[in-house]
Chain A
Amino acid sequence: MGDLRSRIALGRAVVLVVALGALFILFTVLSAVDWRTGEVHWPFFLRWDNLVDLAGSCAINLTLGVGMTFVIIGAGIDLSVGRLVALTHVVLVVVANATGSFTVGLAAGLGCGLAAGFASGATSVRWRIPSFIVTLGMMMVARGLAMVVAGGKSIGADIDSPVVVQRFLPIAVSLVVVVVGHVVLARTVFGRHVFAVGGSPEAARLCGIRVGLVRVVTFLASGLCAALAGLIYWSRNSLGDPLAGDGLELYAIAAVIVGGTSLSGGRGSVVGTFLGALIMGVLQYGLDSMLVQPRWQWVIIGAVVIVTVLLDRLKRTE
Chain B
Amino acid sequence: MKPTTWIALAAVFGIALAGCQDEPQPGAARQRRIALIYKATTNPFFQAMEKGAREKAAELGVDLEVAGIPSETDVDRQANLVRNMLNRRVEAIIIAPASSIGIVTPLLRAQEANVPIVNIDNRIDTDEAKSQGLKVATFIGPDNFEGAKKVGAYACDLIKKKLKADEKGRVLILRGIDGVENAEARRAGFEAAAKDAGLEVAGSESAHWHTDEALRVTSALMAANPDVHGVLCANDKMALGAIAAVKARGKIGQIIIVGYDNIDLAREAMKRSDMHATIEQNPAMMGALGVECALKALDGETLPEVTPVPVQLIRPEDVK
A-binding residues in B (CB < 8 A) = 1-2, 5, 8-9, 11-12, 15-16, 18-20, 22-23, 25, 28, 41, 63, 65-71, 73-76, 79-81, 83-84, 86-89, 99, 101-102, 104-106, 108-109, 112, 125, 127-128, 131-132, 177-180, 206, 208
Contacts and interface: CB of A to CB of B under 8 A. Distances in A.
Contact of A237 (B2, B106, B208): B106
A21 B177 contact: no
8 contacts: A48-B22, A50-B87, A154-B179, A163-B108, A237-B75, A237-B76, A241-B102, A293-B41
Contacts of B177: 153-154, 243
Q: For the side of the interface on A, what is the size category? A: 35 or more
- What 4 pairs between A and B have smallest CB-CB spacing? A153-B179, A46-B19, A239-B102, A21-B12
A218 interface: no
A48 B20 contact: yes
Interface stretch (A36-44, A98-106, A174-182): A36-44
A22 to B, nearest CB: 8
Interface in A103-153: 152-153
Contacts of B208: 243
Contacts of A41: 25, 28
A295 interface: yes
B67 A39 contact: no
Contacts of B125: 156
Contact of A236 (B15, B23, B66, B76): B76
A228 interface: no
B11 A21 contact: yes
A111 B295 CA distance: 49
A163 B19 contact: no
A17 interface: yes
A67 B177 CA distance: 31
Contacts of A154: 75, 99, 101-102, 177, 179-180
Contacts of A57: 80
B89 A44 contact: yes
A156 B101 contact: yes
A43 B67 CA distance: 19
A47 B23 contact: yes
A42 B25 contact: yes
Interface string A183-217: 00000000000000000000000000000000000
